[in-house]
Amino acid sequence: MANVAAKIHIEGLVQGIGFRYFAYRKSQECGVTGYVRNLRDGRVQVYAEGDQDCMDRFLRLLRRGPAGARVSGFDIAQTSYTGNYKEFTVLFDI
């Protein structure tokens, strides 16, 4: 299976409810690498890399989000796989 990468922007009620930690836990379950961070405009940004099946599962989980989340927008931009990420991290760089 080919490796793929995507940058995802998630909007709605997605900050202050544990969305980043949800993404982290699900990345571990799905076997994807990359990062998640809050953006100043209220969205959450995720960059993820992995094989197609893992990414499909991870994206389905992100669309739903954790309990308490209300995802109203989900924008995926496919990008080139880099292999630069060895793990999935939570960034705190707002």
E-strand ranges in 1-94 read: 3-13, 33-38, 44-51, 70-79, 88-90
pLDDT at 25 over 80: yes
Give the pLDDT confidence score for residue 58 in this predicted structure. 98
What's the average model confidence in pLDDT over 15-37?
97
Q: What is the pTM of this model?
A: 0.94
At residue 22, the 3 state secondary structure works out as helix
CATH topology (fold) of 3-90: Alpha-Beta Plaits (3.30.70)
Dist. CA 21–CA 66, nearest whole Å: 9
pLDDT band for position 94 (cuts 50, 70, 90): low
User: Domain extents for the chain?
Assistant: 3-90
Task: Please answer whether residues 65 and 14 qualify as being in contact, where contact means their C-beta atoms are separated by less than 8 angstroms.
Answer: yes
pLDDT, tens digit (0-9, with 9 covering 90-100), for 39-71: 999 999 999 999 999 999 999 999 999 999 999
List active site positions. Answer: 20, 38
Q: If we measure between CA atoms, which residue out of 83, 11, 92 comes closest to residue 48?
A: 83
